[in-house]
Chain A
Amino acid sequence: MALTSRAARARSTADLALHVHDYRPDANGSRRERLTALAFIAPALLGFAVFYFWPTLRGLYFSFTEYDVFNRPVFVGLGNYRAILEDSTFWNAMLVTVEYVAINIATQTVLALLLAVLLHRLTRSVFVRSVIVLPYLIANVVVALVFYWMLDAQIGITNQVLGWLGTGPVAFFGDQNWAIPTIALVNTWRHLGYTALLLFAGMVMIPNDVYEAGRVDGASEWKMFWRITLPLLRPVLALVLVITVVGSFQAFDTVAVTTSGGPGDASRVIQYYIFDLAFQRLQFGYASAVSVVLFVILALVALVQLRLMRADQSDVA
């Protein structure tokens, strides 16, 4: 079923391509057009080649070497990848990262959806819309440090309040069980408004008459959310999820300025581990191999997400 529909889609794309191909005025014009197009693409392409593509290739090459920046890289074949298999710190870092992503994405997506619905269905106020993105305008490091102080077990304001309520103190950043949830939720707080705004933009694109029809049929807001908003939002939601999940896997700065991966290895997320390997221990070859593994995992995650959510199709119109 899925296969045939994919085949059909491929065929229709091919038809479209053929059609465009036929619609070519003359060879000369086409060349000029192509040159103009290239000229427009050139800056972005150059930037991509120099700052993304080339470093990626270099990184891939370094992942097969032992390299400390100061001496010529020594080719070690698959040595680094074999070492990863036995590296318990790496596997722990993967586990910690997955825990972080799960908490961060689950809370962030649900809350952002709720916020977006409220923005969409309740208010037209530009002021309210701007206020919810405010946290996103504060630098990550600043957010991290402010929470780091507020959540101190002994002199932080949060535990002061918890004390009045008769519980605590909770060592939010210091307890090995709390560190990752805390860091994940701090980042949820920061990214919530931005994610909500993206989803809100998607909701605005849903034609209003669908809601009107729903209201005529006597559907409640709750029902309209599940039957109209969510299904029609799917392509946007899929895109937002891919972007936020990939971003979430790269959590680094919050960890770097607060726990530095500790206590123990409790918050040693994969990006921090890569940084530690490369810039503290000068194991650039091994760090590159870990980066390549992360790259493959992220590519797979994004692919699966896009496939599952049929992100390239819309149900509107």
Chain B
Amino acid sequence: MRQPRRRLARTAAAFAGATVLLSGCATYGVDPGGDAQTGELTYWMWEAAQLPAYQQCASDFEALNPDIDVKIEQFGWDDYWNKLFTGFVANSAPDVFADHTSRYGEFAARGLIEPIDEQVERAGIDLGAYVTGTTELWVGPDGKRYGLPKDFDTIGLYYNKTMAEEAGVTEAQMKELTWNPVDGGTYEDVIARLTVDTNGVRGDEPGFDKDSIATYGLGLNSSGGPNGQTEWSYLTQTTGWTYMDKPAWGTEFNYDDPRFQETITWWRGLIEKGFMPPLSFTEGGSLDQQMQAGKYAMATEGSWTIANFAGLEGIELGLAPTPIGPSGQRAAMQNSLADSIFTSSPRKGAAWKWVQYLASADCQEVVARSGVVMPALASTVETSQAALSETGLDITAYTDQIREGTTFPFPAVLNSAEIQSTMTSAMDNVLAFNAEPSSLTQVNAEIDALFD
């Protein structure tokens, strides 16, 4: 009888000891790093297509700065953020990395990336030289700057030219589409016209069978989650709706606004009419593959896909701007990538030189000539337009909206992962007809509550 009790006491003591150990043996906080001006820099990016251009920039940069070496590593988008996060925790993140507006707010709030306001001012960098709207995207929740824009993107409408011709839809019509949430305007007319059922009957003709579709007028990528960047934001914004109380870092959201819910109601109505595939069809092949297979006649997409779509064999594609909405104007979300410096980097001096070079005319000219993405310096837009025009696509569909001032910024937020999870789930349910668009009012309250 005595022995078990002693064992119990020993176990309890071990447990108590373990608790002390468990709570006390790790270090917390972010290492402040150092300001060395030389050494080997590690630079991460996720876009494989852009790698050759940036490799060229790195070589040119090394020639100018013989005492700095740049090692570029590329990881696909899905791995990128997990790897980066592990790097932050283990203090082994790259000195400089390509950053996204949907992510950097959280990094900045945790002090993981370096504000660069002082450096920008000291170097006398002219922020006005960048494409309108891009530099503002990199001012964080604390009002400090966390990156210099290196490229920008907007939204456009790809369409299958052969299908449009067969349907009697002209290029001029495609460029002057109008839309409203009540009857869908000429945008819906064209979507209906381009939809063909398996008997060859079009969506606007009598006898159309909406349950047996050969080609959908408009493709679908996903429910769009909280941003609907390529899915619905080009519509909602033309109604005067905005995501939240501020363009970025807002704390009160507007998913409960009737204008938003009406737009989503019209958009998902396309599924009921047989003009757009059900949400369930989005798992599997990608939008460009479906388009290549002739399953979709049109698709709204971001400009970063241009090299991808232009390379699709066997179909002839056109590119049109997004439709003109109730505001009398078009709207397209504009986003921009930038390079951020890791706070704990021991060579932040060298890192800044590299960041500055990446945002300079020398490097952006190289990127512009590569014709895969549009660099952010306004002076390089012409070069990049020429390079991208070789794809045969009319990229003014993307650039005109910037010139005309009809773009709006990517809605950067804090708590982005939580908002992403909550809204994706909710929007999926609306698109799958498991919930009504009015259910988003309740979801909006949940998201607002994250900021209380």
Which residues of A from 49 to 91 have beta carbons under 8 Å from B? Answer: 57-58, 61, 68-73, 89
27 contacts between A and B (CB under 8 A): A57-B18, A61-B23, A68-B110, A69-B89, A71-B29, A152-B285, A153-B280, A153-B283, A154-B281, A154-B285, A154-B295, A155-B284, A155-B293, A174-B279, A174-B280, A174-B282, A174-B283, A178-B280, A258-B283, A259-B283, A262-B424, A262-B428, A263-B279, A263-B283, A264-B425, A265-B425, A276-B421
Which residues of B from 415 to 450 have beta carbons under 8 Å from A? Answer: 417-418, 420-421, 424-425, 428-429, 431-432, 434
For B29, give its contact among A70, A173, A282 (CB under 8 Å). A70
Closest CB pairs A-B (n = 7): A152-B284, A174-B280, A171-B280, A174-B283, A173-B283, A61-B22, A264-B428
Given A72-B28, A174-B283, A281-B417, 16 other A-B residues pairs in contact with their CB atoms under 8 A:
A61-B22, A70-B30, A71-B29, A89-B425, A152-B285, A153-B277, A153-B283, A155-B293, A171-B278, A171-B283, A174-B279, A174-B284, A262-B283, A262-B428, A264-B432, A280-B420
**Does B289 reach chain A (CB closer than 8 Å)?**
yes
CA distance A152 to B286 in the complex (A): 10
CA distance A155 to B110 in the complex (A): 44
CA distance A178 to B429 in the complex (A): 15
Inside 8 A of A169's CB, which chain B residues have their CB?
281
Tell me whether A57 and B22 are in contact (CB under 8 A): yes
Number of interface residues of A (CB under 8 A): 38
Nearest-CB residue, chain B, relative to A276: B421
Which residues of A from 123 to 156 have beta carbons under 8 Å from B? Answer: 148-149, 151-156
Given A69-B89, A70-B29, A262-B424, verify A173-B432 contact (CB < 8 Å).
no
Inside 8 A of A68's CB, which chain B residues have their CB?
110
**Does B85 reach chain A (CB closer than 8 Å)?**
yes
Which residues of A from 223 to 279 have beta carbons under 8 Å from B? Answer: 258-259, 262-265, 276, 279
Inside 8 A of B3's CB, which chain A residues have their CB?
none
CA distance A169 to B223 in the complex (A): 20
Tell me whether B432 and A176 are in contact (CB under 8 A): yes
Tell me whether B85 and A149 are in contact (CB under 8 A): no
Tell me whether B428 and A263 are in contact (CB under 8 A): yes
For B285, give its contact among A69, A155, A262, A264 (CB under 8 Å). A155
Inside 8 A of A174's CB, which chain B residues have their CB?
278-284
Tell me whether A70 and B424 are in contact (CB under 8 A): no
Tell me whether B417 and A280 are in contact (CB under 8 A): yes
Chain B residues at the A interface, C-beta cutoff of 8 Å = 18-19, 22-23, 28-30, 82, 85, 88-89, 106, 110, 112, 223, 277-285, 289-290, 293, 295, 417-418, 420-421, 424-425, 428-429, 431-432, 434
**Does A312 reach chain B (CB closer than 8 Å)?**
no
**Does A33 reach chain B (CB closer than 8 Å)?**
no
CA distance A113 to B448 in the complex (A): 53
Task: State how many angstroms separate the Cβ of B75 from the closest Cβ of chain A.
Answer: 15
For B290, give its contact among A72, A154, A262 (CB under 8 Å). A154
**Does A175 reach chain B (CB closer than 8 Å)?**
yes
**Which of A172, A176, A264, A279 has most B Cβ within 10 Å?**
A264
Given A70-B28, A70-B29, A264-B429, verify A153-B23 contact (CB < 8 Å).
no
Tell me whether B425 and A156 are in contact (CB under 8 A): no
Inside 8 A of A58's CB, which chain B residues have their CB?
22
CA distance A269 to B425 in the complex (A): 14
Given A70-B30, A154-B293, A262-B428, verify A149-B284 contact (CB < 8 Å).
yes
For B421, give its contact among A153, A179, A280 (CB under 8 Å). A280
Nearest-CB residue, chain A, relative to B213: A154
Inside 8 A of B290's CB, which chain A residues have their CB?
154-155
Inside 8 A of A171's CB, which chain B residues have their CB?
278, 280-281, 283-284
Given A176-B432, A282-B417, verify A73-B23 contact (CB < 8 Å).
yes
Task: State how many angstroms separate the Cβ of B183 from the closest Cβ of chain A.
Answer: 28
Inside 8 A of A279's CB, which chain B residues have their CB?
82, 85
Nearest-CB residue, chain B, relative to A92: B425
CA distance A280 to B82 in the complex (A): 8
Tell me whether B283 and A281 are in contact (CB under 8 A): no
Tell me whether B428 and A154 are in contact (CB under 8 A): no
Nearest-CB residue, chain B, relative to A179: B283
Tell me whether A148 and B29 are in contact (CB under 8 A): no
**Which of A70, A258, A276 has most B Cβ within 10 Å?**
A70
Task: State how many angstroms separate the Cβ of B435 from the closest Cβ of chain A.
Answer: 9
Task: State how many angstroms separate the Cβ of A21 from the closest Cβ of chain B.
Answer: 15
Task: State how many angstroms separate the Cβ of A73 from the closest Cβ of chain B.
Answer: 7
Tell me whether A153 and B428 are in contact (CB under 8 A): no
Task: State how many angstroms separate the Cβ of B419 from the closest Cβ of chain A.
Answer: 10
Inside 8 A of B418's CB, which chain A residues have their CB?
281
CA distance A175 to B428 in the complex (A): 11
Nearest-CB residue, chain B, relative to A177: B280
CA distance A17 to B89 in the complex (A): 49
For A61, give its contact among B19, B29, B285, B425 (CB under 8 Å). B19
CA distance A155 to B290 in the complex (A): 7
For A156, give its contact among B280, B284, B432 (CB under 8 Å). B284
Nearest-CB residue, chain B, relative to A60: B22
CA distance A263 to B29 in the complex (A): 37
For B432, give its contact among A57, A73, A263, A282 (CB under 8 Å). A263
Inside 8 A of A264's CB, which chain B residues have their CB?
425, 428-429, 432, 434
Given A70-B28, A264-B425, A279-B85, verify A173-B22 contact (CB < 8 Å).
no
